[in-house]
Amino acid sequence: MNNHKLFSKAIISCILCIFCIAVLAGCGTNSSDNSANKPAAQSTDASKPLAGKKLVLAVNATFPPFESVKMDANGNKVFEGVDIDIVNYLAEQLGFTYEVTDMKFSGLVGALQSKRADFVISGISPTAERKENADFTESYFFPKTAILCKKGSNLTTKDSLENKKVSTSFGSTYEKLAKSIPGVEVVSVDSSTVAVQEVVNGRVDAAIIDALQSEKFLNADNTLEKHIISEETIPLDESFAIACQKNSELTKLFDAELAKMKQNGKLNEIIKKWVGDEYVVK
């Protein structure tokens, strides 16, 4: 009697084990087929020139309102801003998907050279030096430059910074501008955020940064003031463009789409959304 019960329990246990294995196998199959695991917005339209391609975008996401990072409800990083909206529109029109690599601004062109990134859109200007190592599209944005300093400093013009100590982002056109001022001592740091912190802490007299970005620092610290540097003093190559690897097919493709965006109003729509009418591309 006991032996019979033991035998019956063994048979039932075996059946249950087989059933559990089958269920788990079935669950694994469904999971791998789950559409949530597939690349988002992957184009199935073969007529789009970059359909099915996944590109790597390099950014320095410390430059709102052009690119910055926020956390979503699930604790995941989400990139947002003018440049991200432009990339999303290009991806939709050309059919590619992309992943973002966030790095120091000074390393962006190097990432293209080493082929760790396919393109850069990160408030980057097409300077002559950068053009030696990367190709650039036509410009999509024309920024303004600001001096950020303590209230009452009377540092309102480029000339007023002569023989002063000025912080700015390493490798940026703002750094180049600062170095062109006679007698200035330039403190080059990793980002505009650090540059402004140097002003707040009294280690420098002023920072040279993007005028739009300066607004967030003014809102956070009422001891600061900003002064727009007149456009006559700003080099023509301080506009923003998309950087690509040398001889990349992306440059012409992006240029064609940017031209369409300017014509159909999509580019101005994105710019107005993030920075207002003052900066729309004419």
6-20, 31-45, 105-119: which is most confident: 105-119
Domains 54-141+239-279 and 145-235 belong to one CATH topology: yes
Residue 277, pLDDT score: 84
The tokens of 212 are what?
């739009």
Amino acid at 153: S
pLDDT computed for residue 91 by the predictor: 98
User: For residue 37, what pLDDT band results from cuts at 50, 70 and 90?
Assistant: very low
Q: What is the DSSP pairing of strand 54-59 with strand 97-102?
A: parallel
Is there a contact between 198 and 204 (Cβ–Cβ < 8 Å)? yes
pLDDT tens digits along 125-175: 999 999 999 999 999 998 888 999 999 999 999 999 999 999 999 988 889
Q: What is the pLDDT of residues 209-255, one digit of tens each?
A: 988 888 889 999 999 999 988 654 555 577 899 999 999 999 999 99
C-beta of residue 226 within 8 angstroms of C-beta of residue 201: no
Give the Cα separation of 189 and 60 in Å (integer): 13
At residue 167, φ and ψ (nearest 5 deg) are: -100, 150
Structure tokens at 271: 């710019």
32 has a pLDDT exceeding 70: no
CATH topology of domain 54-141+239-279: D-Maltodextrin-Binding Protein; domain 2 (3.40.190)
Structural tokens at position 261: 């965006």
Cα 223-227-230 angle, rounded to 5 deg: 175
145-235 placed in CATH 3.40.190.10:
yes
Please report which confidence band the pLDDT of residue 3 belongs to, taking 50, 70 and 90 as the band edges: very low
Instruction: Say what the pTM is.
Output: 0.66
Domain boundaries, the chain: 54-141+239-279, 145-235
Return d(Cα 164, Cα 155) in angstroms, integer. 10
Q: Which of 146, 145, 138, 144 is nearest to 121 (CA)?
A: 138
CB 229 within 8 A of CB 180: no
Q: Do residues 178 and 186 make contact, with C-beta atoms less than 8 angstroms apart?
A: yes
